Structure 1
């Protein structure tokens, strides 16, 4: 089985380094982006399975980036990170097509469980012909 390819998007450089290192130790293939525009640029040239996307970032917000991803990269599952925000932001992300959300700070095992679930969902969608799957229900 191939490694799950992740893109972690957050404007906090130390957080990105820490999460990248901890996920790579658990056999994930991890790339990082420091903002929404950088993430969209990366996705236009590189396939990933799951995006972990911070809600609050300067420039393009995570919510705006999510909306672009849903239009141009609908095959990618997105897990929203809500640190400075609230559960309401996570639920808003789901209403815009995110697969799930997680609150910062989080336990790495909880994040890994959500990543694997999102990846499994993406695989099932692809194998099922890529039909529309509603989110948030």
Structure 2
């Protein structure tokens, strides 16, 4: 399998740094954005296979980032990883095009499984 290029977007800096390190150990490319503004800037210059995105962040929130992703690179799959989510948030995110919706804390193996599934789904859509 090719390296899966991921972008991790979360305002919890220690969490996202640790997650990035753990994913890179497992062979993923894992870039980081600590807020929605930075994520949008990164996405304007880079393409990702999968984005792991928190919904609740100061400034530009995750829903706005999700809308931007689906507008500028609709083939990119987005996994919502939220610590404060609700069924309403999950439903809205899925309607906006999120591939998966997970609650923190999440087991690393489960997240990796979901990232891999999202990548495979993206690859099948592009064929």
TM-score (normalised: structure 1): 0.89
Q: Which residue of 1 aligns with 2:79?
A: 79
Mind listing any 5+ residue stretches in structure 1 that lack a counterpart? 128-137
**1:88 Cα deviation after fit:** 2.7
Q: Which residue of 2 aligns with 1:103?
A: 103
**1:35 Cα deviation after fit:** 1.1
Task: Report the Cα distance in structure 1 between the residues aligned to 2:76 and 2:17, rounded to whole angstroms.
Answer: 22
**1:53 Cα deviation after fit:** 0.4
| 1:11-50 pair list within 5 angstroms | 11-50=11-50
Task: Report the Cα distance in structure 1 between the residues aligned to 2:11 and 2:101, rounded to whole angstroms.
Answer: 17
Aligned with 1:21: secondary structure?
helix
**1:5 Cα deviation after fit:** 0.3
Task: Report the Cα distance in structure 2 between the residues aligned to 1:90 and 1:81, rounded to whole angstroms.
Answer: 10
Aligned with 1:24: secondary structure?
helix
Task: Report the Cα distance in structure 2 between the residues aligned to 1:35 and 1:84, rounded to whole angstroms.
Answer: 16
**1:31 Cα deviation after fit:** 0.1
Task: Report the Cα distance in structure 2 between the residues aligned to 1:57 and 1:94, rounded to whole angstroms.
Answer: 18
Q: Please tell me the root mean square deviation across aligned C-alpha atoms, in Å.
A: 1.0
Task: Report the Cα distance in structure 2 between the residues aligned to 1:24 and 1:125, rounded to whole angstroms.
Answer: 25
